[in-house]
Amino acid sequence: MFKPKILIFTLFIAAVAAMGATADYQQAAPPAPKNLKVLPKNISHEELDHVMDGWKTALGVKCNFCHAASDDNPKKLNFASDAKPEKEMARKMYLMANKINKKYFHTKKGENGMTAMAAINCNTCHHGEAHPEISEEKMMK
């Protein structure tokens, strides 16, 4: 037998569940960056992720090489914090790489404010190592 009351009740529950799911999704969106000093302030989340992944790979490190842990939760990173000197060093390296690209390779800025088609990048020197040391062996050859 068809029971309209049960149908309406079921639809109502489904609608509430769908609204709940949307709210969860919105909460899960990452917060806008708060402490950008060298990257474009209007950088998208995708671009920022891309840059950070690139730096991580170029230096052969994890995010916590440059980013300090949160005060309230040591298992989480406080990405906006400048507590680690490596983060400031990375900013200087980024500016240095931009300057080399602009001055010696005449690269232009892209629409996003970052160097388009960089001639050199972090990986040119780092090759997956945090400390690219001058190799005596190679110098002697």
Fill in the per-residue mask, 16 to 55: x = in contact with ligand HEC (CB under 6 A), - = not in contact. Answer: -----------------xxxxxxx--------x---xx-x
Radius of gyration of the chain from its Cα atoms, rounded to whole angstroms: 23
Residue 131 is encoded by which pair of tokens?
């400390």
Looking at this protein, which amino acid is placed at residue 139? M
Give the interface segment with ligand HEC, choosing from 2-10, 15-23, 101-109, 118-126 (CB under 6 A). Answer: 118-126
Give the interface segment with ligand HEC, choosing from 8-16, 18-26, 111-119, 125-133 (CB under 6 A). Answer: 125-133
The set of residues, in sequence order, having a beta carbon less than 8 Å from that of 38 and lying 6+ positions away, is: 91, 94, 95
The dihedral through the CA atoms of 126, 131, 98, 114 has a sign that is positive
> Residue 86 interacts with ligand HEC (CB under 6 A)?
yes
> Residue 109 interacts with ligand HEC (CB under 6 A)?
no
> Residue 79 interacts with ligand HEC (CB under 6 A)?
yes
* CA atoms of 32 and 79, how far apart (whole Å): 11
Nearer to ligand HEC, 37 or 76 (CB): 37
> Residue 83 interacts with ligand HEC (CB under 6 A)?
no
